[in-house]
Structure 1
Amino acid sequence: MLKTHNSLKALEVDAQQAIRRVLEDIPIISDIHIPAETQRTELEREVDFVAQVNTRGISWMIVCEVKSTGQPRIVRDAALNLRAAATQFGPRAVPILVTPYLSRDARKTCRELAVHYLDLEGNCRIAFDGIYIERESLSRPQVIKRELRSLFKPKSAQVLRVLLLHPNRTWKVTDLAQESGVSLGHISNVTSALIDREWGSRDEDGFKLTKPGAVLDNWRDNYEPPPGEVIRYYTLLHGKGFERAAQQLIDEAQGGVALASFSAAEWLAPYGRVSNHYVYARREMMPFLQSILRAEPAAKGDNLVVTVLDNDGVLRDTIEPHSGIRTTGLVQTYLDLAQAGERGREAAEHLRTERLSWLS
């Protein structure tokens, strides 16, 4: 408990310093005073701290609430409470929420609720008495990056793919666990993380995505390919010859192989043919794959890229867009394309427009 208390006090000190730095940059602001905790009035003790300032002889109260997390759900509750508390200080009170980091969604929430904000990464919006400060920073704390990436790790990804394929469905935890193939505990972790970001909600009927487009956007921006060994081959097969061989392989693999990336997009939403073929496969399928596709290892000049999967979660939601052809699902194909260079990004957006528009 002592460590937590000390950490919160250190964060409050950092917040006070950040507020002071921002206000000192404004020429018309003078006499910035932040009372020590022992000097605060009873009203001032209801919030984390108050900065008293003057602008052209007019006194203002900068009423600040400090939160250790900037998750949108926490931000919404804190902003509502801060706005209510600030009204007690009179018409010249400026409510400012301060956190280590505020996401774009969290900043939008503050604006919607008419609460000013500042985070320790440099994002800021403060406006009063003719003063307007708005700054955006591209940096994110490493802990935020880790939290986002953990949400999109393979096991969590199995849950997200199911949710995104049925964005209007309300799920019972047991049904979602069965459909995604992960534990009840992991389902709870994933859905709680989505709720904290206001990308999902839970009621007596179950859990439902509320912002599927935001989930997909953030997954795309933080995407890591499925873990596995990437092996590059050369095959003489092409066109209809490769198609017939792929159908034979898919038939024999019984769910253990799927076309991926550009090769999947060619069947789902054709955008432009590429010379390389892309395949996901379980390791036990590799002898069949090499034989049927006549694949020879290639140090250079390859035209067949195979990912031998460590985790076959991406094969749980494969689809059959044409008889005998099995590809990765729409969401997985979109993500793979989006990180495949400029042409891949264009193909990804074409796929999203043609087949995933209901996720916007």
Structure 2
Amino acid sequence: MNYKEQILKIIEDIFLEIPFIILTGCYQNYNIGNGYIPDIVIKYAYKNEEKRIVLEVKSQGEPRFIRDAINQILRYKEAFPNAYYMIAAPFISNTSANLCLNAGIGFLDLVGNVYINDDPLFIKKNVERNPLAEKRELRKLYSPKSERILRVLLDKGKKSWLTEELAEETNVSIGLVAKVKNVLLNEEWLESEYGGFSLIKPFDLLDEWSNNYHIEKSKKLNFYTMSSVREIENRLGDFLNKRNIPYAFTGQSAAARYAPMVRYKTTKLYIDSIEIVNALEVDLEIKQVESGANLHFLIPYDEGVLYGRQQFDGLFVVSQIQTYLDLIHDKARGEEAAVEILEQGIKKKW
């Protein structure tokens, strides 16, 4: 059964459940006039009246493709106004659904989302998540090197980029930048313009990324120290700075620099390698523990984690974007600190 046949089967099942109408025909590639041939035309009878629903079928349901389908439907309406119009796609997200509703157009997808408002029909079903594939296209954004691109776009605010320039800044291939750019354009989070492209919906992107980001990707080593957080942070910074070893504090340690009202009792930092942690264990007289840790070392899963790090009083901390990602799902008051950084820091760049 091909994709259009799946859509037709869904339509037939919907109409068979409605006792007061009769489905009289489903047609593929039906000429509605003026040379317009939409993907599917449905005819049904209500009392003595014949009604029609015209569907434009898309193979992808991202906002960019849905907007194209809406524009096509508006052209159909000029030639054939006496019909109800819908869009079908594998999955209709909330963003795509709102585009349809604002245009007065119905929709349906393969996972159960349906909206039909064609008097006397009113059918509305909503599936919050896509059980077929959790936004397969968006998953392309979450490889380590793809995430480097997201960090830079979010960190640099309204800057306009060229593909080659962004590839150089992130130390990834031009081809990968092009792929990520295409995904972001399809979601309408990125705008392509003369002379470059720029991020236009940073908080939609940040929200989507944070829901798919897992700090556990970085290996964590847990230690205990008798020193206070400020004392151990200063001793760590002194050791690492003298040896030019890349590092950055994160979690509440970073949040306290961006939002000084944050209070905390544990220290967390990204550091280059386990060998360096071993050297620190000896030099700073800290002890590795299985429970009760108050000092956490993270071995970064990718160098991009340290992109945009900032220095406060001689100590490096991760960027505001990375701090937000590391804290937003932290149950120990992390979400509160993350929101503070978002409101007081990140949003000011936009």
For the residue of structure 2 that corresponds to 1:122, the secondary structure is coil
Unaligned runs of 5+ residues in structure 1 are 1-8
- Give the aligned partner of residue 66 of structure 1: 57
Mean CA deviation greater in 10-19 or 264-273: 264-273
Residue aligning to 1:258? 248
C-alpha distance in structure 2 between counterparts of 1:253 and 1:290, whole Å: 16
Taking the aligned partners of 1:290 and 1:253, their CA distance within structure 2 comes to: 16
2:332 and 2:307 mapped to 1: Cα distance?
A: 28
Q: Residue 254 of structure 1 aligns to a residue in which SS?
A: coil
Residues 35-80 of structure 1 show CA distances to partners (whole Å, capped at 9, x for unaligned) of: 3559x55659811111111234322111012112112111111121
| 1:241 aligned counterpart, secondary structure | helix
How many Å separate the matches in 1 of 2:308 and 2:49?
63
Q: Which has the larger share of helix?
A: 1
Q: Which residue identity is paired with 2:76?
A: A
Give SS of 1:274's match: coil
Report the secondary structure of 2:290's partner residue. coil
Distance 1:58 1:170, change over 3 A: same
Tell me the residue number matched to 1:340. Answer: 330
Cross-structure match for 1:47: 38
Instruction: Find the residue that maps to 1:171 and give its secondary structure.
Output: coil
Shift of 1:114: 2.4
Q: 2:118 is matched with which residue? A: 128
CA positional deviation for 1:87:
4.1
User: How many angstroms apart in 2 are the aligned matches of 1:85 and 1:13?
Assistant: 22
Counterpart of 2:197 in structure 1 is 207
1:22 aligns with 2:14: yes
Change in CA separation of 1:168 and 1:37 when aligned onto 2, cut-off 3 Å: closer
Q: TM-score, normalised by structure 2?
A: 0.91
Correspondence for 1:177: 167
Deviations 1:70-129 (Å, cap 9, x if unpaired)?
1211111112112322443332x1111011101222112212332211111222222122
Q: Which residue of 1 aligns with 2:235?
A: 245
Q: Deviations over 1:137-181 (max 9, x none)?
A: 122145344432330221111111111122311111222122222
1:289 paired residue number: 280
Map 1:57-206 onto structure 2 (within 5 A): 57-91=48-82, 93-206=83-196
The reply on whether 1:355 has 2:350 as its aligned counterpart is no
Gaps of 5+ in 2: none
Displacement of 1:204 after TM fit? 2.5
CA contact (8 A) 1:226 1:311 kept: no
Give distance in 2, aligned partners of 1:37 and 1:154: 43
Root-mean-square deviation over aligned CA pairs: 2.4
Q: Deviations over 1:249-300 (max 9, x none)?
A: 3413535111111221111124542322111111153234324543211011
Q: Which amino acid is 1:108 matched to?
A: N
